[in-house]
Amino acid sequence: MGWNSANRIFDPVARALIDTGADDNTKRKVLGDLISELQDGDWDTEDESLEDFLDDPAIVKAFADKGVHLSDKRCCRAEHAGAPRSYLMTMRSEDITDEEMTSAIDAYAHHLAETIRENAGLFARHDGEMVSVRAAANYIDPKVP
């Protein structure tokens, strides 16, 4: 297969699935199978197609299922959208910048604080304790001034 010819196969199929409103499971299965076949044909530019679809978590997961990641881990942010702990775990690499690691830690701390606030009643027996629990959540939340 030519240097970039697999992208000309993958990209229109992925775009068609998006345009027709295919659900995430369908996109992940169909594109995962396609990625495997194209890799068997020596697809060496799959990262370029991955980069074009970073805004679609199902497509990013299809690539991740087949071992395709971007060196800067932008794909991991998309893959773990809404799951800050999973994202934080993917950050355990020498290639991650301090800024990116700080951002991941802040996202996890905010997620943790939100979880504590939502479940404050599990930690407190009376109003005074509720205030303390919420104050603790605010203290760890980088989004609270």
Q: For the chain, which residues make up each domain, given as ranges?
A: 1-79, 96-145
Longest Cα separation, the chain: 68
Q: How much is the pTM?
A: 0.56
What are the residues whose beta carbons fall under 8 Å from the beta carbon of 112, sequence distance 6 or more?
Answer: 140
Query: Average of pLDDT values for 84-109?
Result: 73
For the residues of 20-65, what is the DSSP string, one character each?
Answer: TT--HHHHHHHHHHHHHHHHHTT---HHHHHHHTTT-HHHHHHHHH
> pLDDT digits over 12-57, tens only?
999 999 999 999 999 999 999 999 999 988 888 888 898 899 888 8
Does pLDDT of 3 surpass 70?
no
